[in-house]
Structure 1
Amino acid sequence: MKLAVVGGGSTYTPELIDGFARLRDTLPISELVLIDPAAERLELIGGLARRIFAKQGHPGLITTTSDLDAGVAGADAVLLQLRIGGQAARLQDETWPLECGCVGQETTGAGGLAKALRTVPVVLDIAERVRRSNPDAWIIDFTNPVGIVTRALLQAGHKAVGLCNVAIGFQRRFAAMLDLTPADIHLDHVGLNHLTWELGVRKGGPEGENLLPQLLAAHGEAIAADLRLPRAVLDRLGVVPSYYLRYFYAHDEVVRELATKPSRAAEVAAMEKELLGLYGDPALDEKPELLAKRGGAFYSEAAVDLAAALLGDGGSSHQVVNTLNNGTLPFLPDDAVIEVQARVDRSGPVPLAVPRLDPLYSGLIAHVTAYEDLALDAALRGGRERVFRALLAHPLVGQYDLAEGLTDRLLAHNKEHLAWA
């Protein structure tokens, strides 16, 4: 089995390599290709990746290349983990929206739109080159904004599934709180990428006992602290929102915080510099502890489980993925991309049934889906007016003067990445 990782020079990659090494019985990789245009950085990470495989006794071959077409040739699956513009672009995404009194964040709000505009054309070009090389290859997208990027891929007819680590993070956290194994926990996870709620925490599978009420009763304070929301909000909702919901439920509070502290992009850039220094140590043969602070926890395990189901021997498993709605949420169009539990096998994901949602959740999901529709149109066709329409539709913007100001700033800060700007 051959896997290719586009964006293999990411500082995330050793997390992925560690998972591939530990879980080699689940996903028996014979060849892994790390692809990245940053050759010097790629060699640092490639060297560490080989040492991790060697230490854990993984027999697979790891190669590195800056040649995309050569790297994806013959791959059974291609994993995308890109950041167009790097941390410098992320810093801008987190900064200029604050000038308009809006959240500055890389996947939510105006910053998330900027990232989508930069990313979608690049990802579609990569996917088309993968299809020319191997039309049967699966594309696993971890590139944010995952929902919009996955929708672009599926709309273009690619064999694609979107992946996020939010659900697996909750699964691991809740399992520890309940003194169960992660395999014992099935989440009723519903929504869009970075806009989800855990409506149930079930023991053993989709039909298992719902442990969410006792989880909130016993551990509500700790969960609320993790989400940085008041415990009373969780009690009133009776569910666990993703931590990204804080941008919606406490928007003004978050804006005040972001305006008075260093950006996450600056923190990550400093962390990446330190990580790259560690990766260059020829004695290092495991992922360093610092990597846990970088983000992406359990990403490797989610990726292994998904790839194993897509490429396996005919078995299936339940996993949280980003895939086509196809009637799962009846208030959304079939071609919307949702993030839900699905049965996944070699034919792809099929969402599990979802009960009728409270309008408190379905209303916001529908609103953000409309924005994503307009955002994808802007990413595919360009144009200032399409950018403005997407921003005006976003629930974190929603006013014409804010949308005008944000549009001007978005275009000014992203001209080098937008061919039409």
Structure 2
Amino acid sequence: MKIAVIGGGSTYTPELVDGFARLQTVLPVDELVLMDPAGERLEPVSALAGRIFAAQGHPGRVTATSDLAAAVDGADAVLLQLRVGGQAARHQDETWPLECGCVGQETTGAGGLAKALRTVPVVRSIAEEVRRRSPEAWIVDFTNPVGIVTRSLLQEGHRAVGLCNVAIGLQRTFAQLLGVPADGVRLDHVGLNHLTWERGVRLADGTEALPRLLEEHGAALAERLELPLDAIRLVGAVPSYYLRYYYAHDEVVEELRHSPSRAETVAAMERELLEMYADPGLTEKPALLEKRGGAYYSEAAVALVRSLLLDGGDEQVVNARNDGTLPFLPDDAVVEVQAVVDAKGAHPSPLTSPLDPLMAGLVAHVTAYEDLALQAAVHGGRERVERALLAHPLVGQYALAQQLTDRLLAANGAHLPWARA
């Protein structure tokens, strides 16, 4: 079995490699190929990956390349974890929206649109190479914005599933608070990528534990999400932390204006991690990596790849084609829900109940934005960018959409050929 990781020079990668090494009996991998055009990152990351495999007795081999065609040729699964423009572009995404009084974030709002515009064309090109070299390979997208990127891949007929670590992170948190094994917790997880709610927390014996969680651990959850407990109770579900950008937008903007960007923090952390990775005595992922983000990504990725390649038939939270799951959305929208995953793909499970209007309204609104964002990413054009921004619930004003478009295009000209024409 050959697994290719595009963006393999990411400092995230040792987390993923650790999962493949620890769970080798679950998913036997003969070759793990790390592909990245940035050799100065790929070299230390791939060397550490090889040492992790060796230290944990994994019989497979780790290879590294900057050649996309070689990486995906004959692959059974291709994992996408790339960042077009690197942390420098992310820093821009997190700063120029603040100049207009809007949240600066890499996947939400105007910054998220900028990332989509840079990313979708690159991912589509990669996917075409996968189709040429390994037409039966599954593409697992961890590249943000996951919902928009995955929808783009599915619209082009690629065998693709989107993956995010928010659900597994909350599952582990809930299990720890309740004192039960993680696999004994099933989430009623519903929404769009980075716009989800946990409407239920079902234990192995069938008990619904959400009321208990809110009663006994509500304050701790509220602190983790940086939202008032009253707000969580009002919603009637545990929102993902990305909902804070909607429920407390102005408060978040003020915070961001007076703090370093996340990109600056991550860039400094990455420099330190790469120095660690270059140490030939390091044979495991360092503790600092936990602060980088992507917690439990490895477990989620291994579980998803295993079910796709080995016809698992188990239920996981993924990003998949809607196909009536949320009946008020188009069938080709991509939703983030529980789904049965097997060799034919991800099949969303029926919802336990209709979505509350408080959630459904926002989901429909953001889905409309995502549709317009994808059109802008594929076809380009200032007007398409303005329309997408005007449709976004965090923008919604014509003059503001114009200002944001000016700043977006100015910051991203190097990555958008049509904007330079």
Q: TM-score range by the shorter chain?
A: over 0.9
Separation in 2, partners of 1:400, 1:110: 14
Kindly indicate whether residue 224 of structure 2 is the aligned counterpart of residue 221 of structure 1. no
**Cα deviation per residue 1:133-176 (whole Å; 9 max; x = unaligned)?**
01100000000000000000000000000000000000000000
| Aligned twin of 1:195 | 195
The residue matched to 2:259 in structure 1 has which SS?
coil
TM alignment of 1:94-243, pairs within 5 A: 94-204=94-204, 208-243=206-241
The residue matched to 2:227 in structure 1 has which SS?
coil
- On the 8 A contact 1:26/1:308 being kept in 2, the answer is yes
| Aligned twin of 2:333 | 336
- On the 8 A contact 1:213/1:238 being kept in 2, the answer is no
CA RMSD in angstroms, aligned pairs only: 0.7
| Aligned twin of 2:273 | 275
Separation in 1, partners of 2:80, 2:229: 37
| Aligned twin of 1:24 | 24
Query: 1:209: how far off?
Result: 2.2
**Cα deviation per residue 1:267-318 (whole Å; 9 max; x = unaligned)?**
0000000000000000000000000000000000000000000001x33111
Q: Aligned letter for 1:265?
A: A
Separation in 2, partners of 1:66, 1:110: 31
TM alignment of 1:20-419, pairs within 5 A: 20-204=20-204, 208-312=206-310, 314-354=311-351, 355-419=353-417
- On the 8 A contact 2:235/2:358 being kept in 1, the answer is no
- On the 8 A contact 1:82/1:143 being kept in 2, the answer is yes
Q: Aligned letter for 1:229?
A: L
Separation in 1, partners of 2:233, 2:155: 39
The residue matched to 1:353 in structure 2 has which SS?
coil
- On the 8 A contact 1:77/1:307 being kept in 2, the answer is yes
**Cα deviation per residue 1:230-250 (whole Å; 9 max; x = unaligned)?**
111112222100000000000
Query: 1:419: how far off?
Result: 1.3
Query: 1:210: how far off?
Result: 1.3
Q: Aligned letter for 1:147?
A: G
- On the 8 A contact 2:18/2:52 being kept in 1, the answer is yes
Kindly indicate whether residue 1 of structure 2 is the aligned counterpart of residue 4 of structure 1. no
Separation in 2, partners of 1:238, 1:178: 19
The residue matched to 1:115 in structure 2 has which SS?
helix
The residue matched to 1:37 in structure 2 has which SS?
coil
Q: Aligned letter for 1:302?
A: A
**Cα deviation per residue 1:83-142 (whole Å; 9 max; x = unaligned)?**
000000000000000000000000000000000000000000000000000110000000
Runs of 4+ in 1 over 6 A off after TM superposition: none
- On the 8 A contact 1:168/1:302 being kept in 2, the answer is yes
Separation in 1, partners of 2:406, 2:247: 26
The residue matched to 1:140 in structure 2 has which SS?
strand
Query: 1:41: how far off?
Result: 1.3
Query: 1:74: how far off?
Result: 0.3
Separation in 2, partners of 1:112, 1:236: 27
Separation in 2, partners of 1:115, 1:196: 20
- On the 8 A contact 1:7/1:36 being kept in 2, the answer is yes
The residue matched to 1:119 in structure 2 has which SS?
helix
Q: Aligned letter for 2:259?
A: K
- Identity within the alignment, %: 71
Q: Aligned letter for 1:295?
A: G
Q: Aligned letter for 2:79?
A: L
> TM-score normalised to the size of structure 1?
0.99
Query: 1:204: how far off?
Result: 2.3
- On the 8 A contact 1:2/1:74 being kept in 2, the answer is yes
Q: Aligned letter for 1:17?
A: V
Alignment gaps of 5+ in structure 1:
none
Q: Aligned letter for 2:124?
A: L
Q: Aligned letter for 1:104?
A: G
**Cα deviation per residue 1:7-42 (whole Å; 9 max; x = unaligned)?**
000000000000111111111101000000011210
- On the 8 A contact 2:313/2:342 being kept in 1, the answer is yes
Q: Aligned letter for 1:139?
A: I
Query: 1:215: how far off?
Result: 0.9
- On the 8 A contact 2:365/2:392 being kept in 1, the answer is yes
- On the 8 A contact 1:371/1:390 being kept in 2, the answer is yes
Q: Aligned letter for 2:159?
A: K
In the alignment of these two chains, the number of paired residues is: 418
Query: 1:59: how far off?
Result: 0.6
Q: Aligned letter for 2:56?
A: Q
Separation in 2, partners of 1:59, 1:144: 32
Separation in 1, partners of 2:95, 2:232: 30
Separation in 2, partners of 1:237, 1:257: 24
